[in-house]
């Protein structure tokens, strides 16, 4: 089954970075992503600018985003206000987040998981009324930085309670997951919400991210979040580090015969470029090691 890489660098990649980028650089990042073959891009978060200053210009970024045929944009929203901002920006879909533990949910969104699930029902309905797909991310599904293990049964209960999504994204927000968890959670998500396609979101915090991505592809998960450069993190999760890198993931999948449509060399150059813009060293490795065969 083909695997689609969802480029989340413009959202999850940037939101934790101290260096605030000008809107023009964010638009150039989108252009480079499109040029490298990415076709589904999480371009922004519609959240409170005081909480995540990097996302304050979300509307301006999307207004200037390149819009060639076949490219769709999604954005993170955490409430109805964010959903309505998103609906004004010509997006194909929105992505809402329910955090799998109450403690982390309180810190991330200021509400319990139950409150967040109730709000998801409203956001989901409003998104559909606005003609957008509504995708649901279960954050910290593989473990919580505050309360430790998150049981698969708990994730199953959340998904059973959640309004039906167009897509369920299983997120290892803090990079603690391993392939055996991917297999279990994929089965749970498919069982709880059979109408939904499946997506996964991995951070490479403990070097398990790419192995998890391979496990996801082998277990019916058809979309994988990744960020050009492997930049990223969560402002409200301690010691969270980068997303798996688009270029390294595309190298792995392309070379395994699972064509992603991503031009790995262009993606690697963009990974180096965005890291330069941020004044950091990209966690992605392909930009340093080079493609193979050269």
Site membership for its own copies, residue 3 (CB under 8 A): no
124 has catalytic annotation: no
- What are the strands, taking DSSP E only, across the chain? 4-7, 40-46, 72-77, 93-99, 133-139, 167-172, 197-202, 223-226
CB of 33 to its own copies, least distance (A): 19
Distance CA 78, CA 279 (A): 29
Site membership for its own copies, residue 251 (CB under 8 A): yes
Q: In the Cβ-directed half-sphere of 241, how many Cα atoms lie within 13 Å?
A: 16
How many residues line the site for its own copies (CB under 8 A)?
A: 39
Angle (deg, nearest 10), helices 209-218 and 246-255: 50
Site membership for its own copies, residue 2 (CB under 8 A): no
What 3-state class would DSSP assign to 164? Answer: coil
Tell me: cis bond preceding 252? Omega within 30 of 0 counts.
Answer: no
Distance CA 217, CA 221 (A): 5
Sole binder of its own copies in the list 252, 262, 275, 282 (CB under 8 A): 252
Exposure string (b/e) for 44-58, b if CB count within 10 Å is 16 or more?
Answer: bbbbeeeebebbbbb
Site membership for its own copies, residue 179 (CB under 8 A): yes
Backbone phi, psi, residue 288, to 5°: -90, -45
> Six-digit token pair at 45?
């978060």
Give the per-residue contact string, 205-244, with its own copies (x = CB under 8 A; - = no). Answer: xxxx-xx-xxx-----------------------x-x--x
Q: Which is nearer to its own copies, 61 or 186 (CB)?
A: 186
Site membership for its own copies, residue 151 (CB under 8 A): no
CB of 258 to its own copies, least distance (A): 9
Site membership for its own copies, residue 265 (CB under 8 A): no
- What are the strands, taking DSSP E only, across 140-191? 167-172
Q: Which is nearer to its own copies, 27 or 252 (CB)?
A: 252
Q: Which is nearer to its own copies, 132 or 237 (CB)?
A: 237
Instruction: Catalogue the active-site residues.
Output: 234
Q: Which residues bind its own copies (CB under 8 A)?
A: 143, 148-149, 174-176, 178-181, 204-208, 210-211, 213-215, 239, 241, 244-245, 248, 251-252, 255-257, 284-286, 288-290, 292-294
């Amino acid at each position: 089954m083909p695997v689609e890489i969802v480029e989340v660098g413009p959202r999850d990649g940037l939101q934790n970075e101290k260096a605030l980028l000008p809107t023009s650089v964010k638009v150039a990042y989108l252009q480079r992503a499109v040029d490298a073959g990415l076709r589904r891009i999480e371009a922004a978060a519609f959240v409170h600018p005081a909480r995540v200053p990097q996302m304050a210009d979300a509307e301006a970024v999307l207004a200037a985003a390149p819009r060639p045929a076949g490219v769709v944009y999604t954005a993170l929203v955490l409430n109805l206000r964010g959903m309505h901002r998103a609906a004004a920006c010509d997006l194909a879909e929105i992505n809402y987040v329910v955090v799998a533990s109450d403690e982390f949910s309180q810190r991330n969104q200021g509400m319990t998981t139950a409150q967040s699930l109730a709000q998801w029902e409203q956001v989901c309905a409003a998104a559909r009324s606005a003609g957008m797909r509504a995708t649901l991310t279960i954050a910290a599904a593989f473990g919580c930085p505050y309360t430790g293990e998150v049981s698969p049964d708990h994730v199953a209960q959340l998904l059973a309670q959640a309004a039906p999504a167009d897509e369920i994204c299983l997120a290892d927000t803090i990079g603690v997951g391993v392939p055996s968890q991917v297999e279990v959670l994929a089965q749970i998500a498919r069982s709880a919400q059979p109408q939904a396609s499946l997506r996964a979101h991995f951070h490479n915090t403990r070097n398990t991210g790419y192995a998890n991505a391979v496990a996801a592809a082998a277990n019916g998960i058809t979309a994988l979040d990744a960020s050009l450069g492997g930049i990223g993190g969560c402002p409200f999760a301690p010691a969270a580090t980068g997303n798996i890198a688009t270029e390294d993931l595309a190298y792995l999948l392309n070379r395994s015969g699972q064509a992603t449509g991503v031009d790995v060399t262009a993606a690697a150059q963009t990974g180096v470029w965005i890291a330069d813009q941020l004044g950091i060293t990209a966690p992605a490795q392909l930009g340093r090691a080079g493609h193979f065969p050269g």
